[in-house]
Structure 1
Amino acid sequence: MASSGPQFQMGVEHCLAPNKAPHLPNVEFLLHIRTSLRDRNGRVLEDPWQRGTQELEVLPESVFGSEQHHNNVSRRLLEAGWLHRGHREFVLDLAFEASNSIIRKEKEEKKKKNQNNDIVRIIFRVVKIVRMEYHDELEATAMELSMQEDPKLVPATTESIRALKKTKLLEGDGDGDDIECMICMEKLVSSKTEVVTCMPCSHLFHGDCIERWLSTSHLCPLCRFPMPTDAGEH
C-alpha cells in the first residue's frame, strides 16, 4: 500500500548574479518549492517547475548556512509538508555542505580571474509530490506542526566561551594554509603567526568569529557540538 505522506525531492543548483554591493561578500539564496499532484494511476497532473513559490534573499557569506539560516529553511520546508524531521535535516545538511563547496570554488575562480562583479546564487529546488486525495489533509497537518515547532537559539555561557583553547598556527607550516574559517569564509591563517580558537570538537575558527557565533548559538557551526548554556543549569 502506498504511503499517504508526500514525497520530497531537493536539488542544489547555482549561477552567478550581479553584485549590487561589490564591497560586501554576499551570497544570493533562492528557495523554490513546487507541489506536484499525482493521481491514483501515478500520473503527474502538474509540471513541478512551471508554478510554485520562491523566496530570494541576499545574505552575507557569514550568515549563509548558519544555524539560524538552516532553521529558517527547515521551517519553510516543514510548512510545505516535509514532516519527517530527521530526513529533512539530513537532506538540508547535505545541501548546505554542497552549497559551501560551490561558494568556495567560485571564490577561488574569481580570485584567479580578478573579478568581483558577480556573486553566487545558490538555488534549492524542492519538489513535493502528493497523492491528490491527501493534499488538503497534509496541508492542514503541516501548518499545525509548524506552529508547534519553534526553533530557538540559545547562547553559550560566557565562562565556556572564555575557556576555549587558543592555538597558534604558523603560515607556511602546512597546518592552516588551505583552511578557511567557516564562519567568515576567510583564510584561517593570514599572517606569519596567527592565533585561532579551537572548539572542544577540534574545529578551528577565528577567535572573534566564534565568540560572536557562540554569543547567539551554543552549537558548533560545523558539527553542532553543544557548548554549556545557562538554560542547562535550571
Structure 2
Amino acid sequence: MMTTDLDELFDLDLALTMPDSPSEAPPSTAEVQITRDAVGELPAVTVSGGRCAICISGFSREGGRGKKVRCGHVFHEDCLFRWISSKNSCPVCRRTVFR
C-alpha cells in the first residue's frame, strides 16, 4: 500500500517537471559552458541523512554538504560537476541546471 502512494507521488513529480515540448529540452553542454566555478556557485546546503543520487553515497563524506540545483535536488559537488560536464540536466528529474 505504501509503495503505491510513493509510486503515485513519483509519477506526479515526474509529470510536473517534464518539459511540455521538445523545444523546452535543456541546452546541451556544448551550448552552455559549464565550469567547476559555476557548479561551486550553486547554493550549498547541509544535508542530514540521505544519499547523493549520482554516486549513491551518503552526504557524510563531504561533511553533510551538498550542492542544490534549480529543481531542489542535492548532490555532492564533485559528483554534480562530473555529471554536468556531459549532461546539462538534473540526474533525477532531467530539469535544466544551467541556461
TM-score of the superposed pair, with normalisation by structure 1: 0.27
Tell me by how many angstroms 1:190 deviates: 3.8
Point out where structure 1 has 5 or more consecutive residues left out of the alignment.
1-93, 95-152, 170-175, 230-234
Q: 1:158 is paired with a residue of what secondary structure?
A: coil
In the alignment, structure 2 segments of 5+ residues that lack a partner are: 1-10, 12-26
Name the structure with the higher strand share.
1
Distance, in Å, in 1 between the alignment partners of 2:94 and 2:59 is 20
2: CA distance between counterparts of 1:162 and 1:208?
A: 9
Q: Which amino acid aligns with 2:94?
A: R
- Conserved? CA contact 2:39–2:77, under 8 Å: no
Distance 1:185 1:163, change over 3 A: same
Of 33, 40, 47 in structure 2, the residue corresponding to residue 157 of structure 1 is 33
Aligned pair 1:228/2:95, yes or no?
no
2:56 is matched with which residue?
Answer: 185
- Calculate the TM-score normalised by the size of structure 2: 0.57
Question: Does the CA contact (< 8 Å) of 1:157 and 1:228 recur in 2?
Answer: no
8 A Cα contact 2:44 2:67, kept in partner:
yes
Higher Cα Rg: structure 1 or 2?
A: 1
Matches within 5 A, 1:1-234: 154-155=28-29, 156-158=32-34, 160-169=38-47, 176-177=48-49, 179-190=50-61, 193-229=63-99
Could you say what secondary structure the match of 2:64 adopts?
strand
Which residue number corresponds to residue 63 of structure 1?
A: none
Report the counterpart of residue 54 of structure 1 in structure 2. Answer: none
Higher relative contact order (CA 8 A, sep 6+): 2
Structure 2 counterpart of 1:158, one-letter code: I
